[in-house]
Amino acid sequence: THTQMNIKTITKCVFLLALEATSATTSLFDSGIDDVPTEENDEENMYATFFDRVVIPARESVRRNALGEAITVSESDAATIKSGAAGQCSEDALTVRILEADRKLVIVGGGPAGLSAAVYAARAGLSPLIIARDGGQLEGTSDVHNYPGFDEGVDAVDLIQRLERQAERFGADRKECGVRDVDLTCRPFKVYCEDGEVITSSAVVIATGASPRWIGAEGEQELIAKGVHTCATCDGYFYRGKHAVVIGGGDTAMEQALFLARLASRVTLIHRGGFLRASKAMATRVLKHPNILILWNTSVKRFVADESTGALSSLDIETLTTMGENATSNLAVDGAFVAIGHTPNSEKFRGVRTDSKGYIYTLPGSTVTSVTGVFAAGDVQDDLYRQAITSAGTGAMAAMDAERWLCEHGC
């Protein structure tokens, strides 16, 4: 399948990068570059080799470095350690600065990631402060039908409000404000609110999410969640047996078109260019799919609402013909998915390492960022899954990572 082919390619690339990055640590590997898996190798052997040589040693190394060496403490040792420390926490310079903060933990972001982090942090006695202006992307949709525990679905705003009440019940505080800047260059960390208040914190969880990119056509914003969407995995189910449109030409658009093709009666892919920007494998699958039609050199000029229902009914489109002329037409649709990418909301967190797109790097298997005491959860560090449930999961991880780190640096 395409997924297996893609994973095999990724695995080989990661294997090569890992070898290059760990060239000074040759003990991780039994032999050299000649053993890199090839197309001729058995796939199962390739995966086993990759995990034995790269994934497992890396995870074990992280575990050792993060937790330190285990010690055996007897009753007499415990008394000695306790009396020697005089009941106080470590007094190194870093810990002293950390303990000067107004708050132990500030969570920036009020979506599923931030609120889940708040629930876990509050139950751990950290009295976290949530700083957010709204509930993030989730508030841009209507009903959520793929969040566990709601067999008949749940209103998106209601879900956010439930999470807020749950966090507050355990002791989390909330401040509604926009964040102007976050200073992570010195400790304690400083969060500057747009109302002028400056809040200091020992640790920070970044859960600001990512914002979908829009094409800017007339009627687009007015019809969000009324036929205009950005996530086929989230909302594609509503278009079973109907006509769905995907707008875009990259891998995200290909993925959404292929997902919808399993549900909709037909899928139209609208791309403004004459060639796709997606990977060859993804583009080939779309081109070969009998249920997907591509409109080349075509752009959407207006999203048209039905006068009686107020929902999306058609698109005004413009196509560049082979004669070099622009031809306009109207395309009847049931739903449209704008798939031209997302922008992670990470620009205010200077000093944290990000990739070329702005997604925050986290240590694999954790929410630890490049700045000690700063953790990232949800879509701001996830450009692959981007689901409410995965965001909530990483939010819980961030709170647990933060609690563990704070225990090491304060009472």
Catalytic residues: 231, 234-235
Residue 213, classified by CB atoms within 10 Å of its CB into exposed (0-12), middle (13-18) or buried (19+), is: middle
Within 10 A of 163 (CB to CB), how many other CB atoms are there?
A: 23
Preceding omega of 188 cis (within 30 degrees of 0): yes
Question: In whole angstroms, what is the distance from residue 172 CA to residue 207 CA?
Answer: 15
Of 207, 106, 119, 124, the C-alpha closest to 163 is 119
Question: In whole angstroms, what is the distance from residue 143 CA to residue 354 CA?
Answer: 32
Is residue 191 within 8 Å of 207, Cβ to Cβ?
no
Give bridge partners of residue 106 from the DSSP assignment: 129, 204
Instruction: List the structure tokens of 9.
Output: 């390619």
Q: Which residue has the tokens 């058609």?
A: 314
Q: Which residues contact 83 (CB under 8 A, 6 or more apart)?
A: none
Pairing of strands 342-344, 189-193: unpaired
What's the angle, vertex CA 36, arms to CA 31 and CA 37, rounded to 5?
Answer: 135
Question: In whole angstroms, what is the distance from residue 351 CA to residue 304 CA?
Answer: 44
Of 227, 241, 186, 231, the C-alpha closest to 209 is 231
